[in-house]
A and B are shown apart, each in its own frame.
Chain A
Amino acid sequence: MKIFSDYAKEKLLDLYNNHDHEVGSELKKSNPEKYKSYESTDCITYALNVISFAFKSIGNNEAAKRSWGLGKHGTELAKYLVNHHGWKGVYINPDVNHPLDSDSEHAYTSYLASKKCEYYKVPLEYKVTNYAITPKTNPAFGKLNKSKGVTALNTIDIASLEFVKFGFGVSRGGRHTWLFSKGKIYEVHWDEIGANLYESSSIRAFPWLSGAIVVPSEQAALIVASAKVKCR
C-alpha cells in the first residue's frame, strides 16, 4: 500500500521530468502576453503542487487545502507539517565553522539549532552537519572563525539522511524552498523556462548551505540516532 512519501516522490519526479506547460513566475510577470498559455510556477509552488497532491492521494483533502493556504511562507508550511502531521525537522549545514560563503548565518543557525532545537521557529529533531568540509586551502576557510581548525567530517549522519524518500526544505528562513529525495535537492527557478526551470543537485553541494528539511515521521526513522538533537 502506497503512503504519503510514495505519492510525493512520484509527483516530484513527474513535474521535474514533464514541465513544458510551466514557466517561472517572475519570467511570466515580465512578459505576461508571451507566456499567457503557460502555468506559473516557482520554488514554493513546486513544493505545494507535490505536497497537496500527496495529501489528496492519501485522502486528506483538508491538509491539501491548508497547505496551499500556508504555503506563501515556507517556514509556516514546515511548522504546520511538524506540528499538525508529526513530521520531523532536520537541520542541515555542510560545515558549521567554515561556510563556503563566509556568512555568519550558517554558524548562527547551527548554534540555535543545538541550543533551542529550532530553525526559524521550525521545531528540530535532528541535526545533520559537517558532511562537506571546507578545506584549509579554500579562501573561505577561517574567514568567519579564525581560531577554529578544520571541522571534523561526519559522513554517517548524511548517509542516513540520503535514504529518506521525501522531504520539504527551506533555506535562509524561507527565502528559498525546495524538495528533497534520496540525497538530492529538487528546485524551481522562477526566472526560467524549459530545461533550466527545474534543477536537481546533491545536498552535499547545495549552494544555500544551511537550512532545514521536514520529513514524514516514518522517513525520519531512517536517520541515525547520532544525529538527534536534545533540547527539551
Chain B
Amino acid sequence: MRTIIVSLFLMALVSCASTPPQSTAYILEYKDFGPPVIASDLIGMDWWQWQSHGDSRPKEYKIKVVVYKNTELIEIEKLYPVIPSENQDYRYVDYHDALKYLDQHISENIIEKVANKLIDTKNRIIRSIGDE
C-alpha cells in the first residue's frame, strides 16, 4: 500500500513538471495597448469592428484583446467569439506579436505615461501566460 502511495505521488510530480502552463490566453482591454494611433496597427481601430465608423460623440467602446500562445487562432476565436448583437468585440493577438509591439513602443518612450502603461501590460502578459 505504501509503495502505491509513493508511486502515485511520484507520478503526480512528474505530471506536474511536464504540464505546460494551463493558461494559453490572456484577456486585456484595448487601452492596455496605448492610444489608438499606435494600437490600431496591431489590434485595429477603437470602435466596433463590424461598423465602418463609430459614434459621433466621444465614448469608450468595451473592446477586449486576447493575447494567445501555444494554440491555434481558430480555437481562440471559438472560445472568444465576436458577437455584434451583444456588443462583444474581441481582437486576437499572437503572444510574440504582442511582445514585439510592446517592446518597440516601450523603447521609443514617446510619452512616459504611455510607456509605463505598456510596461505594465507586458508584465501582466508574462505573469499570466509565461515568458519565452
Contacts and interface: CB of A to CB of B under 8 A. Distances in A.
B56 A112 contact: no
Nearest to B35: A105
Interface string B77-115: 000000000000000000000000000000000110110
B36 A173 contact: yes
Interface string B53-69: 11111100000000000
A145 B57 CA distance: 25
Contact of B40 (A72, A173, A187, A208): A173
A128 to B, nearest CB: 18
Contacts of B110: 108, 111
Contacts of B45: 173-175
Contact of B37 (A74, A108, A189, A207): A108
A147 B102 CA distance: 24
Given A101-B58, A105-B36, A120-B37, A175 B53 contact: yes
A112 B111 contact: no
A103 B38 CA distance: 13
A101 B36 CA distance: 15
Contact of A108 (B55, B56, B114): B114
Given A144-B113, A145-B111, A187 B56 contact: yes
A73 B53 contact: yes
Contacts of A104: 34-35, 111, 113-114
A44 B51 CA distance: 12
Contact of A190 (B36, B56, B58, B114): B56
Given A101-B58, A103-B35, A43 B114 contact: no
B111 A105 contact: no
B32 interface: no
B46 A175 contact: yes
Contacts of A188: 56
Contacts of B113: 104, 144-145
- By size class, the interface of chain B is 20 to 34
B22 interface: no
A144 B53 contact: no
B47 interface: yes
B52 interface: yes
Interface in B20-36: 34-36
A42 B37 CA distance: 23
A107 B110 CA distance: 9
Given A144-B111, A173-B45, A175-B46, A208 B52 contact: no
A190 B52 contact: no
B70 to A, nearest CB: 32
A181 interface: no
Contacts of B40: 120, 173
B56 A44 contact: no
18 contacts: A42-B56, A72-B52, A74-B53, A104-B34, A108-B38, A108-B111, A109-B37, A120-B37, A172-B46, A175-B45, A175-B46, A175-B54, A175-B55, A176-B53, A176-B56, A189-B56, A207-B57, A208-B58
Given A109-B37, A173-B45, 6 more contacts: A105-B37, A108-B38, A176-B54, A188-B56, A207-B57, A207-B58
